[in-house]
Chain A
Amino acid sequence: MRLLKEKAGRTVMFILTVLPTLLLVLMFFGLFRKSRAILALKSFGGLLFSSGWHPLRGEFGLFPFLIGTLWVTAVALVIAVPISLLMAVYLSEYAPRGFRDFAKPLIDLLSGIPSVIFGVWGVLVIVPLVGRIAPLFGRYSSGYSVLAGGIVLAVMIFPTIIHVALEVFSAIPFPLREASLSLGATRWETTRHVVLRKGSQGIIAACVLGLSRALGETMAVLMVVGNVPAAPKSVFDAGYPLPALIANNYGEILSVPLYDSALMLAALVLFIVVQTFNILARWFLVRAERRAE
Chain B
Amino acid sequence: MNKRRLVERFWKALMIASTAVVIGCLLFIVVTVIWKGLPALSLSMITRIPKGGYYLGKEGGILNAILGSLYLALGATALACVLSLPVVIFLNVYCRKRSRLAELTRFSFDVLWGIPSIVYGAFGFVLMVYFGMRTSLLAGIVTVALLEVPIMSRAIDEVIKLVPRELKEASYSLGATRLETSLKVIIRQCLPGILTGILIAFGRGIGDAASVLFTAGFTDRIPTSLGQPAATLPLAIFFQLGTPFPEVRQRAYASAAILTILILFISVLARVLSRRYTKHVIR
Within 8 Å by CB of B90, from A16, A31, A267, lies A16
**Known A-B contacts A10-B179, A17-B105, A106-B23; A223 and B241 likewise in contact (beta carbons under 8 Å):** yes
Give B88-115 as 1s and 0s: 1 = Cβ < 8 Å from A's Cβ atoms. Answer: 0111001000000100110111111011
Closest partner residue, chain B, to A154 (CB atom): B25
For window 109-149 of A, CB contacts with B under 8 Å fall at: 109-110, 112-121, 123-125
Asked if A195 lies at the interface with its beta carbon under 8 angstroms from chain B, I say no
For window 1-40 of A, CB contacts with B under 8 Å fall at: 2-3, 5-6, 9-10, 12-14, 16-21, 23-24, 27, 30-31, 33-34
Asked if A177 lies at the interface with its beta carbon under 8 angstroms from chain B, I say no
- Is B7 a contact of A162 with CB atoms below 8 Å? no
- Is B15 a contact of A119 with CB atoms below 8 Å? no
- In Å, the complex CA distance between A275 and B262 comes to 32
**Known A-B contacts A90-B15, A125-B32, A216-B116; A84 and B123 likewise in contact (beta carbons under 8 Å):** no
Asked if A101 lies at the interface with its beta carbon under 8 angstroms from chain B, I say no
How many residues from A make CB contacts under 8 Å with B?
Answer: 86
Closest partner residue, chain A, to B179 (CB atom): A9
* B40 smallest CB distance to A (angstroms): 12
Asked if A186 lies at the interface with its beta carbon under 8 angstroms from chain B, I say yes
Q: Tell me which residues across on chain B come within 8 A of A125, comparing CB atoms.
A: 28, 32
**Known A-B contacts A87-B15, A89-B15; A20 and B87 likewise in contact (beta carbons under 8 Å):** yes
- Is A278 a contact of B23 with CB atoms below 8 Å? no
* B69 smallest CB distance to A (angstroms): 10
Asked if B146 lies at the interface with its beta carbon under 8 angstroms from chain A, I say yes
- The secondary-structure label for the interface of chain A is helix
- Is B29 a contact of A31 with CB atoms below 8 Å? no
**Known A-B contacts A115-B207, A243-B116; A2 and B241 likewise in contact (beta carbons under 8 Å):** no
Asked if A45 lies at the interface with its beta carbon under 8 angstroms from chain B, I say no
Q: Tell me which residues across on chain B come within 8 A of A209, comparing CB atoms.
A: 114
The 6 closest A-B pairs by CB, nearest first: A216-B116, A114-B207, A267-B122, A90-B15, A86-B18, A13-B90
14 A-B pairs with CB atoms under 8 Å apart are: A5-B179, A13-B94, A20-B105, A83-B21, A86-B15, A91-B19, A110-B22, A113-B30, A117-B259, A120-B237, A121-B28, A243-B118, A247-B213, A274-B116
Binding site for A on B (CB under 8 A): 4-5, 7-8, 11-12, 14-19, 21-23, 25-26, 28-30, 32-33, 36, 83, 86-87, 89-91, 94, 101, 104-105, 107-112, 114-119, 121-123, 125-127, 129-130, 146, 149-150, 153, 177-180, 200, 203-204, 206-210, 213-214, 234, 237-238, 241, 252-253, 256, 259-260, 263-264, 266-267, 271
Binding site for B on A (CB under 8 A): 2-3, 5-6, 9-10, 12-14, 16-21, 23-24, 27, 30-31, 33-34, 82-84, 86-87, 89-91, 94-95, 103, 105-110, 112-121, 123-125, 155, 158, 162, 186-189, 191, 209, 212-213, 215-219, 223, 243, 246-247, 250, 253, 263-264, 267, 270-271, 274-275, 277-279, 281-282
